[in-house]
Amino acid sequence: MEFFHLDVWTANAETFRVKLVDLGGTATEAEIVFDGIAQGEWVSLDIPMADFIAAGMTATNSIQQLIFSGLPTGTFDFYIDNVYFHKAPSAMGDTTCAVLQDFEGTAPAFTSFGNIADTQVIANPDMSGENTSANVAQLVKTAGSEVWAGTFFDVASPIDLSTCNMISVKSWSPKAGATVRLKIENSADNTQFYETDATTSSINTWETLVFDVSAAGALTYDRVVLFYDFGVAGDDSTYYFDQIEVVSTGGGSGGTPALPFQDFEGAAPAFTAFGNIADVQVIANPDMSGLNTTANVAELVKTAGSEVWAGAFFDVATPLDVNTYNKLSVKTWSPKMGAVVRLKIENSADNTQFFEIDLSTTTINAWEELEFDISGAADFNYDRVVLFFDFGVAGDDSVYYYDEFELKN
């Protein structure tokens, strides 16, 4: 999230203060002060999270306390409303049109089929990464169950696909490459249905699968069916799913599939480092957790005293398709939050033809996925990928890791 929002009203406060406290790991906090706040009217405060970071906060992934105070001490009152975190919408990002099920209220009535165990709503066994919600659905594909075994539940109102044409599901799987089939159907007439597949890409971690249902006919869809590891007989594997939503667009497993182009699992690319940093190496993943449990990653050490623009690049065999795809994602691990990561794509034969864009890290010592919007890139031959970590700051021997480059929409 990029902003912390709240509305405040006071008749007599002269100063209003808001403090965020993160209690995950080493406790960290920061306070923002508003002097001379307007009295007798509602004031909307949209505070950039970057302001809390600049004020000394070193982590924001486990905020458990919000502290409000003011001046003059003991002699004022204030009212607070509409407290939430948010980020600016992306023109190319997802828009949620409807939440079909998040398993936080009354559990739906599941019907399992194909000789698997009953689907249950349980406490989230892995509150990390893309899904930190309290409850999730658990599906165990019982050993020997049918290749088409699965489960379904009905929704109170038919699914409206008139505006949004994707369905996203947060999914946790013990297998990468497992087919997940989504089927929407008419509970009163099961001959009226639409189905489409997505494929898991991670092991024992949450990911978002996005299913393209834009080709679904104009029927009444009030039933959601999920088949895990479709086409394979059951082997007692356990799968979890959550937050089933109708969305407008999506990158990843639905629509135009994401296009991975470097994951460091095969022959390592030829890196060129510059700006007086050490050579980039492909090493065993030192933190196989969260968003990245792959075996190998790239390691970049920004050597003490190296240039503020130090970085490294590698070339790709096939030029990046910036006509089909408008985002480039990379998983990164950083010892610093708020460090600028600059991505540059260029023509190896003509380095005057390039596109570059910045993002900032938002976690410390944990994997996150940075998605760079490359929709503004001109139609050049981009066959070189350049990364600068902590751009604009001289090297201090900090170590960064990165992995899993993908093109997506």
From the DSSP assignment, how many helices (H) and strands (E) are in the chain? 1, 28
User: pTM here?
Assistant: 0.46
Beta partners for residue 63, in sequence order:
22
**Residue 66 is encoded by which pair of tokens?**
């919000």
d(CA 326, CA 335): 28
**Residue 10 is encoded by which pair of tokens?**
């006071």
Nearest to 249 by CA among 340, 168, 358: 168
SS3 326: coil
**Residue 36 is encoded by which pair of tokens?**
């001379």
Q: How many CB atoms lie within 10 A of CB 376?
A: 9
SS3 53: helix
Beta partners for residue 46, in sequence order:
5
Beta partners for residue 358, in sequence order:
342
Beta partners for residue 408, in sequence order:
327
DSSP of 10-27, one letter per residue? Answer: ESS-SEEEEEEEE-SSS-
Percent helix, strand and coil across the chain, each to the nearest 5: 0, 50, 50
Q: Give residue 257's pLDDT.
A: 63
User: How far is CA 91 from each of CA 161, 301, 374, rounded to the nearest angstrom?
Assistant: 20, 34, 12
Residue ranges of the chain with per-residue pLDDT less than 70: 88-96, 249-257
**Residue 12 is encoded by which pair of tokens?**
């007599």
Q: Give residue 92's pLDDT.
A: 43
Write the burial class of residue 211 (CB in 10 Å: 0-12 exposed, 13-18 middle, 19+ buried). buried
SS3 135: strand
CA angle 93–94–100, rounded 5-degree value: 175
Q: Give residue 256's pLDDT.
A: 56
Q: Give residue 347's pLDDT.
A: 96
**Residue 256 is encoded by which pair of tokens?**
């135009």
d(CA 259, CA 325): 9
Q: What is the DSSP letter of 96?
A: E
The pLDDT tens digits for 199-258 are 888 889 899 899 989 888 889 999 999 999 999 999 999 999 999 999 876 444 444 567
**Residue 26 is encoded by which pair of tokens?**
């080493």
User: How far is CA 46 from each of CA 313, 360, 385, rounded to the nearest angstrom?
Assistant: 38, 19, 35
Q: Give residue 164's pLDDT.
A: 84
Write the burial class of residue 191 (CB in 10 Å: 0-12 exposed, 13-18 middle, 19+ buried). exposed
